[in-house]
Amino acid sequence: MDSELLQRDLRKEISFARRRIYEMADATPLDSILLEDSNIEIFVKREDLSPIHAYKWRGAYNFMAQLSTNELAAGVVTASAGNHAQGVALAARKLGTRAIIYMPLSTPRMKQLAVKRHGGKSVEIRLYGNSYDSSSAAAHDCAAKDDLIYIHAYDDLTVMAGQGTLADEIVMSDKGPFDVAYLQVGGGGMAAAAATRLKTNFPDIHIIGVEGVDQASMAAAVKAGAPLALDHVDVFCDGTAVRKVGTLTHQICADLVDEWMTVTNDEVSAGIQFLWEQLRCIPEPSGAMGVAAILKQRKELEGKRVLSILCGANMDFEQLATIALRSAVGAARRRFLKIQIPEKAGAMYSLLKSMPDTVSIADFQYGKSDTAMAAPVIGFNVSPLEFKVLTQSLSDDAYKYEEVTSETDVRFRLIHYQSKLLRYPIFITLEFHERPGALAEFLKSVSPHSNLCYFNYVYSGERVGRALLGFEFGDAESNERFDLVLKSAEHAYRAYERVSENSIRRILG
């Protein structure tokens, strides 16, 4: 079937899907955000507010609601690493059938529990293989062996039609027309269906397909003229981590998507933070890809009305820590410098005092590894102009530095130090007021009495900062007097605590 006939059938199926979808749930909101500095109005389709906090239920339910009584009685089978599984589970419970769902062995427990919560006794989870491809192959074998209906996550016209109802709701909202739509692409079901519906009603809309840097399977398929499997797929944005796109989805996307672009994981993290700040929602990484692309191209979008799909919000809570660290880098707000200073008492304080007052330190990584020179790695939250002022200030004061924002050891916060070089060391945890100059004020108080040999601090977003600090001394007597020094400097911090002997042994190796 050629693309035009496929699009015609898909438009018809989307209209048929409306009744089934709204038997199950109401339309999700279309929120707007105005970027006043560039006069860009961003419209965000809030699929995070759907029954499973993702759009995938639409396709699964639309497919299963059309099955015959005998087919429902036999049951269905599918493979999914997350949201599609939850959609099938929800539909199985609603329609009174049973669903066997194959998931990779690495599927987070949170997603398994979500499937069970939506499906209850109607669902059986089978963990199989290390990837979606392995689970999918096993699910297909099960379907053939037990004569069950297999539900594809994206490469099926009825599934695609269900996904397309989200675009139908956008059209029916009367908030259009839109100049540009940013559609994230995994297997391509949502992008193909949404593009079909949007182009029908807004023929002048510019459709941009957004993929992860190491996930661009649809752009590769369009370039090659047919779907092909990528050798490796990054899974940070796990909802779009598809090695090979669908045959049907490829046909439509190749015809209707006007432009392709990629976003990095750091840029996606910045998109998540943006949506939290603007709408107080926390999307999963795939859900923020469209907004990440908008922020990446905001200069070209001045004065335009722009559409994005927040396609889901199912994410392990633990992933938030990684996202928080990466978001400032992705927004080009956090830059890391490795700065050379003399390895002597007071040098760190002198460095901090030489920096402009506008500088905000968000990360500090340092360990003594040389007897003559030190090289602390400091992460700054700065605008491009503030960064220029900072580096100029460092140059004016004859500090040598290099940018290390993208270095692996910095990203993983691997602090290099040589424990054998530390003389009569003391380690403490310090709690201080999170305000400009607080660390410099503390170091000013203690520098005459000790040398800083270890510094581990990262901004946590709280009103107080917490750091692990190491100090060394010329002799045992100075070491023993350090508690008195800390007491005399108590105006510069909230509290401190000595690190336990067990921890000290592990730190010093």
User: Taking a C-beta distance cutoff of 8 angstroms, is the pair 466, 493 a contact?
Assistant: no
β pairing state of 377-381 and 334-339: antiparallel
Are 44 and 76 within one domain?
no
- Per the DSSP assignment, residues forming a β-bridge with 307 are 43, 181
Tokens 């995070």 found at: 48
- Mean pLDDT (the chain, rounded): 94
- Predicted confidence at residue 177, as pLDDT, reads 97
Of all helices (H) and strands (E), which one includes residue 160?
A: helix 157-172
CA distance 392 to 397: 9
Rounded Cα distance, 6 and 447, in Å: 73
Asked whether the beta carbons of 77 and 151 are under 8 A apart, the reply is yes
Q: pLDDT tens for residues 203-249?
A: 999 999 999 999 999 999 999 999 999 999 999 999 999 999 999 99
Q: How far apart are CA 501 and CA 115, in angstroms?
A: 46
Same domain flag for 107 and 228: no
Tokens of residue 123, six digits: 């669902």
**Domain-ending residue, one of 150, 178, 209:** 150
Q: If you search the block for the tokens 């190749």, which residue do you land on?
A: 254
Helix (H, G, I), strand (E, B) or coil at 367: strand
Q: What is the pLDDT of residues 290-313, one digit of tens each?
A: 999 999 999 999 999 999 999 999
Domains identified in the chain, total number: 3
Q: Which of 327, 350, 381 is the last residue of a domain?
A: 327
pTM attached to this predicted model: 0.84
Pair (145, 187) in one structural domain? no
pLDDT digits (tens, 9 = 90+) for 426-456: 999 999 988 888 888 898 999 999 999 999 9
Question: Residue 366 maps to which CATH number?
Answer: 3.40.1020.10
Residue span of the structural domain in which 353 resides: 333-508
Residue 251's pLDDT band (cuts 50, 70, 90): very high
Distance CA 185, CA 29 (A): 21
The tens digit of pLDDT for each residue in 315-332 reads 888 888 888 878 876 666
Are 106 and 69 within one domain? yes
Q: Which DSSP category does 333 fall into?
A: -
Same domain assignment for residues 323 and 344: no
- pLDDT tens sequence across 387-429: 999 999 999 999 999 999 989 999 899 999 999 999 999 999 9
Average pLDDT over residues 256-263: 98
| pLDDT tens, residue by residue, 105-148 | 988 888 899 999 999 999 999 999 988 888 999 999 999 999 99
pLDDT of the residue at 1: 65
pLDDT reported for residue 11: 96
Asked whether residue 317 falls in the same domain as residue 337, the answer is: no
How far is residue 245 CA from its own chain's centroid?
22
Are 134 and 165 in a shared domain? no
User: What is the distance between the alpha carbons of residues 245 and 218, in angstroms, rounded to a whole number?
Assistant: 6
Query: Do 40 and 179 belong together in one domain?
Result: yes
